[in-house]
Structure 1
Amino acid sequence: MKIAIFGQAFNSNTEEALVVILHYLNNREGVSVFLIAEFNEKIQEKKPSEFNFTKITDTLDPSFDLLISIGGDGTILRAVTYVHDLNIPVIGVNTGRLGFLATIQNQLIIPSLDAIFNKAYRISERHLLVIDTFPKVSAFDTYNFALNEIAVSRKNTTSMISVETRLNDEYLTSYWSDGLIVSTPTGSTGYSLSCGGPVITPDTNSLVITPISPHNLSARPLVVKDSTEVKLKVNGREDNFLVSLDSRITTLSNETIITIKKAPFTIKMIELLEESFLDTLRKKLLWGEDKRN
């Protein structure tokens, strides 16, 4: 079994989790463990000699069986850029804050790894979004996809922007707002939720379009089929605007036309059998919290 480990930062919580994981994996026969180079660089800055025995890799390939992400949900979003369309299952150890995607707490690492090696888990297929632009933008040549959302927002101004929106080339409306979010079901519990969007279960074949601080009381989040092609054109007092793919941000000209649609591949998230999306809603977002319950 070939396993990669990734993290975006190296702090005491991350170190605690990494030590437990490496000790567990290195004591199992037939397991090869690799640290992704970006993570290893963070480690070497803090502990330059303690983890030198671990193999290092710059990229992933189909020979890997599992990617373990150590951090929060943002770390998983970054880890996805390594997985891309390789169909490598991903599981997250939560050393961050909320941990909606990264669900394993440090004290549960060993029983969770036991479950994985015993194949006591299920795979949750998570859909992604891809972006295309006219004219073409080189920033999207390699990483043009997002697991949570693709969002456009204003830049260098306090003024609203107008986001002309078309669905399958049919005009929907022009949102006067601070921006617009196109979210997957996975991303519905992220940025879209904080802007008033609905929670969507991960197995739903839909997208949600959520305006950011719209200056119109009739502007509401809209749920559409995930086969819908969303086309956006931004106008505003400034010549440029921001587009973000999860946590990756690029500046685009107002002349740019953005097309967003479902990606042709999915990300395989490992879910332990005792976990579920609804259980996570209750635990992480205090869904339905009521002392009467």
Structure 2
Amino acid sequence: MTRRVLIVTHGGRPQAVAAMSEAVDELERAGFEVALHDDDLAETFGDEMAAARAREGVSESEIVMVLGGDGTILRAAELTHGTDVPLLGVNLGHVGFLAESERENLHDAVRRVAAREYVVEERSVVDVVVHRPGEDEPVTGWALNEATVEKAQRDRMIEVAVAVDDRPVSSFGCDGVVIATATGSTAHAFSAGGPVLWPDVDAVLLVPLSAHALFSRPLVIGPRSEYTIDVLDRSPLPGVLTCDGRRSIDLPVGSRVQVRRGTDPLRFARLVHAPFSDRLVSKFNLPVIGWREAADDAAARRAARSAADEHDKEG
């Protein structure tokens, strides 16, 4: 039976074109049938990818290999969401937090896919329901990293109220709020001062953006709870909801957004079994040696040099 891989990349970048050519050659030599996808995917809010999935033959693919950065992986996730097909990211970008392999390891990644030397890890998403005034039916969407409610214009703040499980928690003026998964905790939410959640933490995080309030701390809820964010009637500005930085919908004053852990997780192929701590240190280049250890090392080197000088004088 022929094994099939779908490659998603950014064809406008020379580095991506070169990596794609190499990956196709490697995969075909390993006996795979290879399909390519270079079109932009969903740009409207929701999950309207059923036709694209069928057209690209996603369900017939063993794996979707993504050549690019986190943005390209988020684009490819629109194809695999709702299926059992895993994503394998090969980083051609900067941080590449969602990627499993680097460009220089492309050959080894193909070899391990061919040998089925990978494990599949599930990552939770958030499901989003939007109720807008004057509309009878809500609009639904989802996000792997985060759903962000932000002000639609720059000049003033948006006024929102936050509730958990239909119980009010706080209201404030702000630039917006970020509701993130554990996977997305290292993206927009991290930049806004939120905590880093390990990927296996089954929780949803909320981080206010520049809130004008005494209580504007990040919140973390469990898998059976739900956030509600209302754009208050007194808000001087409407809002906009954006999922994963890609799919947006306008939020008139009076809109309500409900966010909870999603029912259909995304699947990622993992080649390396290193703990998340190692990935965090590597991707963010964290200084794991503190100033105390560095000072002790410097003192030890000075003492060693002094001892060597004394030895030379005595000799």
- How far did 1:140 drift? 4.8
Who is 2:36 aligned against? 35
The aligned runs of 1:54-65 (5 Å cut-off) are 58-65=55-62
Who is 2:285 aligned against? 286
Of residues 219, 231, 243, the one that matches 1:245 is: 243
2:181 counterpart of 1:179? no
Judge conservation of contact 1:67–1:91 (CA < 8 Å) in 2: yes
Partner Cα distance (1:275, 1:125) in 2: 16
Partner Cα distance (1:162, 1:106) in 2: 44
> TM-score, normalising length from structure 2?
0.81
- How far did 1:167 drift? 0.8
Partner Cα distance (2:274, 2:111) in 1: 15
The one-letter code matched in structure 2 to 1:175 is F
Alignment RMSD (CA, Å): 2.3
Judge conservation of contact 2:11–2:17 (CA < 8 Å) in 1: no
The one-letter code matched in structure 2 to 1:241 is G
Secondary structure, in 3 states, of the residue corresponding to 2:74? helix
Residue ranges of structure 2 left out of the alignment (5+ in a row): 41-52, 295-315
- Choose between structure 1 and 2: higher strand proportion: 1
Distance 1:60 1:261, change over 3 A: farther
> TM-score, normalising length from structure 1?
0.86
Judge conservation of contact 2:158–2:236 (CA < 8 Å) in 1: yes
Of residues 71, 90, 93, the one that matches 1:74 is: 71
Who is 1:268 aligned against? 267
State the identity %.
Answer: 25
- How far did 1:287 drift? 3.1
Judge conservation of contact 1:163–1:234 (CA < 8 Å) in 2: yes
Judge conservation of contact 1:87–1:266 (CA < 8 Å) in 2: no
Judge conservation of contact 2:100–2:272 (CA < 8 Å) in 1: no
Of residues 71, 80, 96, the one that matches 1:83 is: 80
- Choose between structure 1 and 2: higher helix proportion: 2
2:227 counterpart of 1:230? yes
Partner Cα distance (1:237, 1:158) in 2: 10
Equivalent pairs, count: 274
Secondary structure, in 3 states, of the residue corresponding to 1:187? helix
Partner Cα distance (2:28, 2:242) in 1: 38
Of residues 14, 20, 23, the one that matches 1:18 is: 20
Partner Cα distance (2:219, 2:22) in 1: 44
Listed one character per residue, the Cα deviations across residues 31-50 of structure 1 (whole Å, up to 9, x for unaligned) are: 211112516xxxxxxxxxxx
Partner Cα distance (2:111, 2:255) in 1: 49
Partner Cα distance (2:63, 2:156) in 1: 46
- How far did 1:217 drift? 4.3
Who is 1:258 aligned against? 257
Residue ranges of structure 1 left out of the alignment (5+ in a row): 40-55
Secondary structure, in 3 states, of the residue corresponding to 1:77? helix
- How far did 1:10 drift? 2.5
Partner Cα distance (1:246, 1:137) in 2: 26
The aligned runs of 1:184-203 (5 Å cut-off) are 184-203=181-200
Who is 1:7 aligned against? 9
